[in-house]
Structure 1
């Protein structure tokens, strides 16, 4: 398995990260992909990758919730890291209008700027959206020149939204929300094109059933896998092989 979106460098794992990693390995985890969020997360993320170099791969980007009035300065500091370290993606980036719309214009500017980085560096992007799917799709469509690729992580939208994302050449990252009874994903997943599906946890957030409300971890990717297989009426092994292949291809993992 590949957990394509995990914040295992977060403070929530400081007391037992070694045990969390051990459980991930026991569950059959081949890679754990680490999205960056802001300037403060870079050091713990890279330290975690250095501690588990066979397992962890890092991304670099500025999460929309950490965009503020100093966006240009922050983006310059984030961008400088691409000359210091190899990254597998630009992420996580996007637009989040759930908590605060104060810096909507700055979020859009940061999103477009980082999409440009992805084009220049020939890297996939990992997109975060919350209460912003229409705005994000509109901006992405305006920037799509055929070279952009990536994933809308933590997808929990409609079939129509899934098709619009796929039409732009982008994948859907399915995580714990896929297991929630009230999410409506039991109706959406059967209609998804598995050629565009990858698995994730977004740990420590959004733990799948039966761990909902508790801390999430990479080993729980197995629960997402089983849920997708159940909804698609596919063999678990077939979904595993398909989603792993998709993730390796998207993120250029050997």
Structure 2
């Protein structure tokens, strides 16, 4: 069994064939799908999907850093509201993104810190977005980290030195379709990381693995990520599935 620990299949990209997407995932042994939130506009679609497939889909609640703008305080209030209202399995997707826009860096840092505190309060793991922002994210984490904070660096694309910093903090490393890209170099990094530190993800509909690169990603394609990691570590896909599924179950308590 595989667990897709990061998927946005509740997005409008899947509005016409969502049931088929879920079925294809299940048929490819992807039996659990974890759904990070983006912002207030995505909550309804996310929760509708969870309510339709409660034994397959597991929701997270958070404010994505690219949605941190002038009204981010109101968005954080939405996060707080939903955390009080129903069960979630983590805080995410949170973090810092300096790829698209650097003008709200201070606001992003504040929102990140605030949500880390929510994670501590609710005893939930965090799913961290670090696009062009590893140093900034790591600085915040080293300032606030304690034994009550756990989580994953989603869509990891850093160096082996950065990977070691992540695992030294006790966090997992999320690996998706980029590891199958020939020129990404991520395969060389992942080959040096013990699978006990890894969890698998698709980030659907983005970052589609080879052989479907360029098309819409979906959770059923997680098998290609698992196979690539198995090849890198000279293991069977069954071994990688067991290790990463155990890692995901423990982290998200599912």
TM-score using structure 2 length: 0.98
Q: Which residue of 2 aligns with 1:209?
A: 210
* CA deviation after TM superposition for structure 1 residue 100, in Å: 0.5
Q: Which residue of 2 aligns with 1:73?
A: 74
1:193-232 aligned within 5 A: 193-232=194-233
- 2: CA distance between counterparts of 1:48 and 1:129? 26
* CA deviation after TM superposition for structure 1 residue 186, in Å: 2.1
Give SS of 1:44's match: helix
- 2: CA distance between counterparts of 1:185 and 1:67? 28
1:22-33 aligned within 5 A: 22-33=23-34
- 2: CA distance between counterparts of 1:186 and 1:86? 36
Q: Which residue of 2 aligns with 1:172?
A: 173
Q: Which residue of 2 aligns with 1:43?
A: 44
Q: Which residue of 2 aligns with 1:134?
A: 135
- 1: CA distance between counterparts of 2:137 and 2:31? 31
Question: How many residues are matched?
Answer: 253
1:35-114 aligned within 5 A: 35-114=36-115
Q: Which residue of 2 aligns with 1:4?
A: 5
CA RMSD of superposed structures (Å): 0.7
Residues 109-154 of structure 1 deviation map (CA, whole Å, 9 limit, x = unaligned): 0000000000111000000111000110111111102211000011
1:144 aligns to 2:134 (yes or no): no
Give SS of 2:227's match: helix
Q: Which residue of 2 aligns with 1:158?
A: 159
Q: Which residue of 2 aligns with 1:183?
A: 184
- 1: CA distance between counterparts of 2:147 and 2:163? 18
Structure 2 gaps of 5+ residues are: none
- 2: CA distance between counterparts of 1:204 and 1:84? 28
Structure 1 gaps of 5+ residues are: none
- 1: CA distance between counterparts of 2:183 and 2:173? 19
- 2: CA distance between counterparts of 1:19 and 1:203? 15
Moved over 3 A (4+): none
Give SS of 1:105's match: helix
Q: Which residue of 2 aligns with 1:250?
A: 251
Residues 64-109 of structure 1 deviation map (CA, whole Å, 9 limit, x = unaligned): 0000122212111211111111000000000000010110000000
Give SS of 1:5's match: coil
- 1: CA distance between counterparts of 2:95 and 2:13? 24
TM-score using structure 1 length: 0.98
Give SS of 1:98's match: coil
1:237 aligns to 2:238 (yes or no): yes
- 2: CA distance between counterparts of 1:240 and 1:61? 27
- 2: CA distance between counterparts of 1:58 and 1:218? 15
